[in-house]
Structure 1
Amino acid sequence: MGLLFEELEAREAAARVRVEELEAELVSVSGKLELAREGLERLRITRETVAEVQAAMTRGGRWRPSMPGGRLLVSRGRRRTRGASGRSSGC
């Protein structure tokens, strides 16, 4: 009976080590997944913004983002940004 419990303890110890290894791997993969999700979100926002700007340029109008703090004025191939103060800075 003693050998049986020794074998169970050895298997339990091995299982514990494997769980710890997988938990460490999970932390690593979770971090990589979060970075990939952030990159995907930035690309999605960029694609939407470019589509909005392109549509405004095609119409010859102005593009104003929905985000507070500034807007992008598009005219004749030149781009200027306007901050909250209303002053423009050429690009």
Structure 2
Amino acid sequence: MSLIEELEAREAAARVRVEELEVKIVELTSRLVGEREAWSRLRVTRETVAEVLAELSGQDVTEAAPLREKAPAAT
């Protein structure tokens, strides 16, 4: 096998690895979006319930603030 043929073979193998990684990235990105949405809905639900419970108990809503968590910044 010539040097050029060897380089072409390595290039082709690298291209295949890159394409496989790109497919995995798309799949993981899709899963990440779905999980972030589920997390966000749960967080909002918990915060809403805490606010309602605080209002029902006569507690100031700002006192329920420690129940809130900050979400990490989306990347």
Tell me which interval the TM-score lies in, with the shorter structure as reference length: 0.7 to 0.9
Comparing both structures, which one devotes a greater share of its residues to strand?
1
The TM-score with structure 2 as length reference comes to 0.74
CA RMSD of aligned residues (A): 1.5
Matching residue of 1:44:
43
Report the structure number with the largest CA radius of gyration: 1
Distance 1:55 1:42 in 2: 20
Off by >4 Å, runs of 4+ in structure 1: none
Matching residue of 2:53:
54
> Which secondary structure does the structure 1 equivalent of 2:2 belong to?
helix
Comparing both structures, which one devotes a greater share of its residues to helix?
2
Q: Which runs of 5+ in 1 are unaligned?
A: 61-91
Structure 1 position 59, deviation (Å): 1.3
Higher relative contact order (CA 8 A, sep 6+): 2
Matching residue of 1:10:
9
> Which secondary structure does the structure 2 equivalent of 1:10 belong to?
helix
Cα-to-partner distance string for 1:53-78 (whole Å, 9 max, x where unaligned): 00011019xxxxxxxxxxxxxxxxxx
Residue correspondence of structure 1 range 66-81 to structure 2 within 5 A: none
The TM-score with structure 1 as length reference comes to 0.62
Q: Which runs of 5+ in 2 are unaligned?
A: 60-75
Cα-to-partner distance string for 1:14-70 (whole Å, 9 max, x where unaligned): 00011001001100000000001001100110111001000011019xxxxxxxxxx
User: What amino acid is the match of 2:48?
Assistant: T
Distance 1:56 1:42 in 2: 21
